[in-house]
Structure 1
Amino acid sequence: MPALGRARSKGGEVATIELFFDLVYVFAFSQLASFFAEHLTGRGTVEVIVMFGGVWWVWNYTAWATNFVDPARIPVRILLVVLMLLSLVMAASIPEAFGDRGPQFAIALAAMQVVRPLFIAIAMRGQQIGRNYAHLLAWSAVAAAVWVIGAFCEPDTRLIVWIVALAIDVAAPLLRTWLPRFGGIDMRMWELTPAHLVERNRLIFIIALGETVLSIGREFMHMESSLYSFVALGVAFAVPVAFWWLYFAHHSERTERRLEEADDPTALARGGFAYAHAILVGGVIVTAVGTEKMLAHPHDETTTVYALLLAGGPALFYIGLALFVASIGGLDRFESTVTASTLAVLAAIGVVAASTGIELLVLAALVAAILAAGVASASWHHRNDAAVAKS
């Protein structure tokens, strides 16, 4: 097989085949949001977390893979097309993953988690990255087997087995894909191109925001044309705008520089992208579900479930964003204080809203106001830092 390694000179360039691959995850996120909207129970929440975890690790591992192999090469393009097809099968199976389509979901997921590292281990054999992926293959093969075994169990058992499978996938990078006799792989042995991974995660965040915008548009289509409906639209739309502003205007732009300057950028990227971004993106999807429910029934009283969606989703986003910034470069005292204060206020408003039963639109407006305050404080802090740096 010809040399397939990605040239570091490509920098943050994202190939069109990678963008094409991401299109399936527009569908996957929509499927997850729809499933969650129809299963707003404790068990439904656990099920959607497990499925989101599986979907996230497939995407995440693929984003990392194209950091090491060149998508411009025909064999790599074929790999991505195969992974895309399997991703489509997995995403289409989400509504019945804990029903009749469990095997379809699990086998597609498992196949991707094995085929990808196997391909790179063979293509890059004799090189350090090939050895790295041989280690990852061992972990992924075990997790894949557990995913498939769970698919043929009864629903209650399936959930437990799939939690174990997801835990194996999540633990692999944390434990440096440790193997008996061989030990683990030092994170410095993964020669990362930070700019590329930064851009890939920006794109998946945009896709998650897209699901929020789609959910707003779907519901607004069915609302009567009135001043009230336009107010509800404005409140709903303010939330993804705030998410975008906080992520791109004040934090994402610093990430690439900090990774380039770091002694061990791969370890920082592992925490900031593989783990923190999962929470951040998950928070956006939860918010999309809450926003859609609010637009469908703006006059309904707030229940505990709706409070968790409308206030809990943004709280998850804030937690993920804080972990992302902390992992890459560290939160300063001001950012830590603002984050803690925002989370406390979101929690308090959620509790009060659920206990008093205020209208969903009122709760959504309060949450939007809190996020707007967060944007304002971040903007002030950013300008202040810039002024200090110039002085």
Structure 2
Amino acid sequence: MASENSRGTMFRALVPNQHSRVTYAELLFDLVFVFAVTQVSHYLLARFTLFGAVQTTLLFLAVWWVWVYTAWVTNWLNPELTPVRILLFLLMLGGLVLSTSIPHAFETRGLWFAVAYAAMQVGRAAFFVAVAPPSNVGVHRNGIRILSWLSAAGVFWILGGLADGERRLALWMLALAIEYVSPVVRFWVPVYGASSIQDWYVEGGHMAERCAGFIIIALGESIVVTGATFAELNWTTTTVLAFVSAFASSIVMWWIYFHKGAEAGSELISKSSDPGRLARSAYTYLHMPIVAGIILSAVADDVVLAHPDGISDLKTAICAIGGPLLFLVGTILFKHNIRGWLQLSHIVGILALVALSFLARELSPLMLSAVTTAILIAVAVWESLSLQSGSKTQPSATSA
């Protein structure tokens, strides 16, 4: 067992208003999730039914949760140290097993998925408890609280892996609910009670950069899917236009998230006196619809590229409109969390997409893709011009 001093050195030296860089070990770990995100989007493509959508949602939430928990832990621990690096490498191995199990997670590889997921969650928490110095009572007790909740959820993950069909889905939904509720109740456990928000101090700039990195992962997956699909097609006028629309959509999503928004979030959380609360709301929960929207848009790009002509079916309409809609809902909530006001540009974009849904079945997939991309471009231009003109100082819904 590590000595008291060596345990303490496992943790980052958190200096207020100082940004700790994301390490190369963390970036290497993130690469596994490029594959995981690709697997999730392909799962939805192969099973585009209501039941398949529910399964895909569960798989996405699991992938996001195991990644974001690792981001929290590496915000506290120092990945430059060999034991923490080894932890990340072992989590990478678990992540690869998890990712390769996704296509058949509700069929023959359910137990593999469950074991990989539970091992990553419980193993990481156990490591944290092992290296947390007992003299730092708040940190040590937080580790025990997290380990307790994740261990309880792990039981249901394994039971679900042993079950099949709807029983597996129900047990995994229960496991996921336990994990998602636990931060809201501040990991309350008997004897220790709930943690205080002061116990969750994080290095804000590092957390913001980690979540921005996951957005890059999701956008990169979207571009990879677009390129791989386009490469296999005959390059006609319609497929080229569909390819351009898909690429433009990815770029404008990047612009909407990263132009001012990501920078403002990083600056705010870096200087916040309560970064733990902001990290939990803005970065742990509100990034989920942003990433989900990008993944659903990638599915839409694949569908439109394969069949750009004709009339849009329900699958195409849901993906082409639902992806940008989820993305804008996530970004407006994220930016509201960091700026304190809702942006009119995003509200109008959301309403335009909702209105488009009533006309979607009358448009070809290519036209539908082009219109949704045009709406996103309008939102990006409107926001950029508004912020540039200085209207961001007005704390109202009409500010941008």
Range into which the TM-score falls when normalised by the shorter chain: over 0.9
Given candidates 329, 345, 370, the residue that maps to 2:352 is 345
Q: Which residue of 2 aligns with 1:368?
A: 373
> What one-letter code is carried by the residue in structure 2 that aligns with 1:363?
L
Given candidates 210, 214, 227, the residue that maps to 2:237 is 227
Q: Which residue of 2 aligns with 1:124?
A: 132
In the alignment, does 2:101 pair up with 1:93?
A: yes
In the alignment, does 2:249 pair up with 1:239?
A: yes
Paired with 1:278 and 1:181, the residues of 2 have a C-alpha distance of 33
Deviation at 1:331, TM superposition (A): 2.5
Paired with 2:26 and 2:392, the residues of 1 have a C-alpha distance of 38
Structure 1, unpaired ranges of 5+: none
Paired with 1:129 and 1:257, the residues of 2 have a C-alpha distance of 25
The count of aligned residue pairs is: 384
Q: Which residue of 2 aligns with 1:288?
A: 298
- 1:241-256 alignment to 2 at 5 Å? 241-256=251-266
Deviation at 1:238, TM superposition (A): 1.0
Deviation at 1:386, TM superposition (A): 7.5
SS in 2 for 1:5: coil
Given candidates 1, 7, 13, the residue that maps to 1:7 is 13
In the alignment, does 2:204 pair up with 1:205?
A: no
> What one-letter code is carried by the residue in structure 1 that aligns with 2:295?
I
Given candidates 134, 142, 154, the residue that maps to 1:144 is 154
> What one-letter code is carried by the residue in structure 1 that aligns with 2:347?
A
Paired with 2:36 and 2:164, the residues of 1 have a C-alpha distance of 24
Deviation at 1:222, TM superposition (A): 2.1
In the alignment, does 2:36 pair up with 1:31?
A: no
Deviation at 1:388, TM superposition (A): 6.8
Q: Which residue of 2 aligns with 1:114?
A: 122
Judged with a 3 Å threshold, the aligned counterparts in structure 2 of structure 1 residues 15 and 368 are, in CA distance, closer, same or farther, namely same
Q: Which residue of 1 aligns with 2:183?
A: 173
Tell me if the contact between 2:153 and 2:176 (Cα under 8 Å) persists in the aligned partners. Answer: yes
Paired with 2:235 and 2:53, the residues of 1 have a C-alpha distance of 34
Deviation at 1:187, TM superposition (A): 1.8
Structure 2, unpaired ranges of 5+: 395-400
In the alignment, does 2:52 pair up with 1:44?
A: yes
Deviation at 1:215, TM superposition (A): 1.2
Which deviations, in whole Å up to 9, do the C-alpha atoms of 1:105-131 show, x marking residues without a partner?
000000111011111111013122222
Deviation at 1:303, TM superposition (A): 1.7
Which deviations, in whole Å up to 9, do the C-alpha atoms of 1:333-382 show, x marking residues without a partner?
xx0x332221121011122112x2x2100000000110010011111111
> What one-letter code is carried by the residue in structure 2 that aligns with 1:104?
W
Identity of aligned residues (%): 35
> What one-letter code is carried by the residue in structure 1 that aligns with 2:389?
N
Deviation at 1:189, TM superposition (A): 1.2
Q: Which residue of 1 aligns with 2:364?
A: 359
Q: Which stretch shows the higher mean deviation, 37-46 or 304-313?
A: 304-313
Q: Which stretch shows the higher mean deviation, 294-303 or 359-368?
A: 294-303
What TM-score do the two structures reach when normalised by structure 1? 0.95
- 1:253-332 alignment to 2 at 5 Å? 253-332=263-342
Paired with 2:210 and 2:264, the residues of 1 have a C-alpha distance of 15
Q: Which residue of 1 aligns with 2:78?
A: 70
Deviation at 1:8, TM superposition (A): 2.2
Q: Which residue of 2 aligns with 1:19?
A: 27
Judged with a 3 Å threshold, the aligned counterparts in structure 2 of structure 1 residues 185 and 81 are, in CA distance, closer, same or farther, namely same
Paired with 1:22 and 1:175, the residues of 2 have a C-alpha distance of 28
SS in 1 for 2:256: helix
Paired with 2:180 and 2:339, the residues of 1 have a C-alpha distance of 22
Tell me if the contact between 1:125 and 1:131 (Cα under 8 Å) persists in the aligned partners. Answer: no
Paired with 1:303 and 1:130, the residues of 2 have a C-alpha distance of 54
Which deviations, in whole Å up to 9, do the C-alpha atoms of 1:251-281 show, x marking residues without a partner?
0010122113323111111111111111110
In the alignment, does 2:198 pair up with 1:192?
A: no
SS in 2 for 1:8: coil
Tell me if the contact between 1:150 and 1:158 (Cα under 8 Å) persists in the aligned partners. Answer: yes
In the alignment, does 2:393 pair up with 1:385?
A: no
What TM-score do the two structures reach when normalised by structure 2? 0.93
Given candidates 169, 172, 196, the residue that maps to 1:162 is 172
Paired with 1:154 and 1:300, the residues of 2 have a C-alpha distance of 39
Tell me if the contact between 2:300 and 2:316 (Cα under 8 Å) persists in the aligned partners. Answer: yes
SS in 2 for 1:225: coil
Q: Which residue of 1 aligns with 2:397?
A: none
SS in 1 for 2:68: helix
> What one-letter code is carried by the residue in structure 2 that aligns with 1:144?
G
SS in 2 for 1:136: helix
Q: Which stretch shows the higher mean deviation, 178-187 or 281-290?
A: 178-187
Deviation at 1:250, TM superposition (A): 2.4
RMSD: 1.5
Paired with 2:180 and 2:393, the residues of 1 have a C-alpha distance of 40
